[in-house]
Structure 1
Amino acid sequence: RLDRMVQLLITGGLGFLGLQAARRFLWRNAVCTHGKIKPLTQLTLFDEHFPATPLPREIVDDPRVRVKTGDITEDGVAEELAEEDIAVIHLASMVSGDSEANPKRAWKVNVEAQRQLLEALSKRAPGARFLFTSSTATFGPMDADAPAGDSTKQLPQNTYGFHKVVCELMINEYARRGLVDARALRLPVVVVRPGAPNKALTTCWSSVVREPLNGEDVHLPVHADSVLPVASYQVVVRAMERLMLDVDAAQLGLDRTLTVPSLSASPRQLYEAAERLARQHGRPFGALHESIDATAARVVRSMGSSVDGSRAADLGLPQDESADSIVKAYADDYVQGGVEQLSVN
């Protein structure tokens, strides 16, 4: 008989991080179901709607890829997405700014949708590997001298962080009951995102690199010296790959969430790293201005400035070298020569 199709589903799959993850897993050509690594025969990208910009050619042209759109909170959608022999990377969520503005809708998207997905998987694909992306916003304000780690008591001071904590507990519960091989990555601010800013209140950590390297001034809604944990999208995608394919349940134990090893950086530090790169290549470079937004500044102050990712590092998850290496990696992909493809090295 023909082997059954082995599928990877990425929710929020048409967003920037979803497409980067898709590239990586298509290149790796592997998915883990029931503890076994198998060739990836189908990759489903699910999102609310198509992005305004065209999808990358290598994704569109790959016969393994299919795209589905819909509202993940609607009845029956989770059941439709949950198929046999499937692994899931669950990225779909409302970002911090939108969650503050509309907490009821955010609860449905950020919490209820995950519960529905896990329930559907427990029935259709029990034991499926499921990766949820949490956030360092779960920690609340932290002293820079005492980085928040996997054993830190979480006291989120924003709606987005609160929802992510609930989802982390849900991940532990479904794993404890043996229903789903659920695990989570606590992501820092992911930089540098190309294209237009999103509604995340931390989006300016990308803007301070992207706009000035494009010769444009940048206006910060938060103080330039505000410090948050950051990681490049390349490191985050490699961390997803590692946790989905190379870390088994026994290595995680009872606590199924790992904090991604991160650097602590301010917008000013990233801006200065970009300025060094621009000077090195003789590129025009935009100026930095502060235009403080009270809500953005308050929410950013409510997030921890440094994290301890040593447990993840011990399990082989990668870390960026420096602000300069983050900026250079972004420029190699999206600035110098317009390189579009994600490096797979």
Structure 2
Amino acid sequence: MPMPNINHIIPGPFQCGNYDPRNLPDLDDDSLDDLTAVLRALAKGSYPRLDSVPLALNAYNCNRKVDIDPWAYFHPVTVITPADVKMKGSPSIELDKDVIDDMAKPWNPIRHTGGQFNAAKRQFERGDWTPPPGSARYRFLCFIHKHRINRKSTIQKGVHTVSIWDREWDELTWHDTYHVDRETRRREIERFWQCVRMPNLIDRGYTREQFMNRIRYRIVYDICERVENTLRDTVPPRNTLYAVIGAALQHMNNACDAQVSIVPDRLELFGAQGLSLVPRFFAHLLWLCLDARPDWTREQRVKFVKQFKILERLRWMRAFVRRDLERRIAEVEMEVEDGDGGDEREGREWVFGLLGI
């Protein structure tokens, strides 16, 4: 009997070359290198390599519940032309082919199907949403932006924002969590969306004018300014990369919430420190990499995990990552008892010592 083709349930830009009941994507060497770079940065509390962040966020879609959860797609980072600089031609966005195909499918509204929170079944704090056969899977199309800022109190020049198109409401929400020069960045992002070539979203059902009228600008974030007032020092603009990651994970964790675009203005979101944010993101990426390399020897696995020892000063990270990994190990043990677990995933408590948790 031929193995079923399950590529259609692997979220892009990944593919699945071999049948695996866990719906694991193929991770080529380049993809593994990107995820490794992000894991290293998260473990050190440093800034992840910017061009690796979208792939890592896309990888957060890959889990065993792919038949339930709506997905988010993250496009490679766009560099925004400063407001005082003339644009050289029109920017262009090319979506992943799987995303383009998905956009041609009907979206099944969550607010009409009663997607509800089910704590016993969904430990990722997501809703219970089962799309009808043939309906769309991607709810969010996400675009991380890098802006240039000239702030005398810091040598850093990059501020990060994110635009998220929500198919539930057919609206795009732009989130800017940094309090300095917001109006300048708003003008920049308006010009970007006014000029960008993106035929699979703009001019497909909406004229440019209609699309521009469907943009919401979320700038009611005050936590960064409050932190500066408390520290009496400048928050580096680059810290907004973690705020973008926090907003992205907030959307994916609550993809069955009709009003998920209202991201709370809280410190744990600005720094992505909450249990369901960077700690869970870290645990997910680590498990995904290990699961996607079943042929590794124990020595290779140990060498891989050793790279990600979490710094002692990141106590919140150490505690939350351990909590999430313990939950994952308990789930695997239950699957093994039911005859559904893989040998390569048994007994992973050995990672705790290597991670310093």
TM-score of the aligned structures, taking structure 1 as reference length: 0.28
Bigger strand share:
1
Q: TM-score, normalised by structure 2?
A: 0.27
